[in-house]
Amino acid sequence: MGLVDWARLRSPWVLHFNTGACNGCDIEVVAALTPRYDVERFGIRLVGSPRHADILIVTGPVTKQVEKRLKRVYEQMPEPKFVMAVGNCCASSGAFRNCYNVYPGLDNVIPVDVYVMGCPPKPEAIINGVVKLLEKLKKLKGGAS
């Protein structure tokens, strides 16, 4: 494993984007970042700008209105970038299934690397999702997503 891979696995910076969630998932994402779970142990940091981020955490059903913005935020992130869908809504539109204004899932709009299920998922599950993502990264070995 090269130096770059080593660094990449140890410094995943996340960006949190709400595409229309009921706020349940957002609260859990924020809870996962509190001192109780202390994700800084793994080098995980919440950043404000898409330009700084490695992982895009998306919560909530992707509404038609937010689609353009979501794509833009995704495109603003520098490679290599990864996407994590948090919550049932985000993965498969969950409670909002078949609504006229939402997409059936996040993967209809941007490529997704990890799905975390639950309504809402526990903070432990979200951290586990990040760990799964890192494992996937390890297998890719330096390849961009």
Partner 1 sequence: MEGEAVIQELIDVLRTLLFPGFLFFVILGLFFEWIDRKFYAKLQNRVGPLYTGPWGLLQPLADFVKLMAKEDIVPEGAIKPIFSSVPVFALALSLFAALFLPVCGPQGIVSFPGDVIVLAVVLTLLVILVFLGGLSPASRYPEVGAERSVLQLLGYEIPLVASILGATAMTVGLGGSLSIEGIVNAQRDWWSILGFQALGFAIFLLAAQAELERVPFDIPEAETEIVAGWTTEYSGKKLALLRLARDVELAFLCGLGATLFLGGPWPGPLVPGLGGAIVSTIIFVIKSIVVLLLLTVIRAAMSRLRIDQMVNFAWKYLVPLSIFQLLLAVVVAPLMIHLLTL
Q: Which of 1, 11, 124, 145 binds partner 1 (CB under 8 A)?
A: 11
List 79, 139, 141, 143, residue binding partner 1 (CB under 8 A): 79
Of 10 and 69, the one with the shorter C-beta distance to partner 1 is: 10
Closest approach of ligand SF4 to the CB of residue 87, in Å: 3
Which one of partner 1, ligand SF4, none is in contact with 124 (Cβ closer than 5 to 8 A by kind)?
A: none
Interface segment toward ligand SF4; rule CB under 6 A; list 18-26, 48-56, 108-116, 125-133 = 18-26
Is residue 103 classed exposed, middle or buried when 0-12, 13-18 and 19+ CB atoms within 10 A define those classes?
buried
Q: Are 13 and 47 in contact (CB under 8 A)?
A: yes
Give the one residue of 1, 7, 30, 119 binding partner 1; rule: CB under 8 A: 7
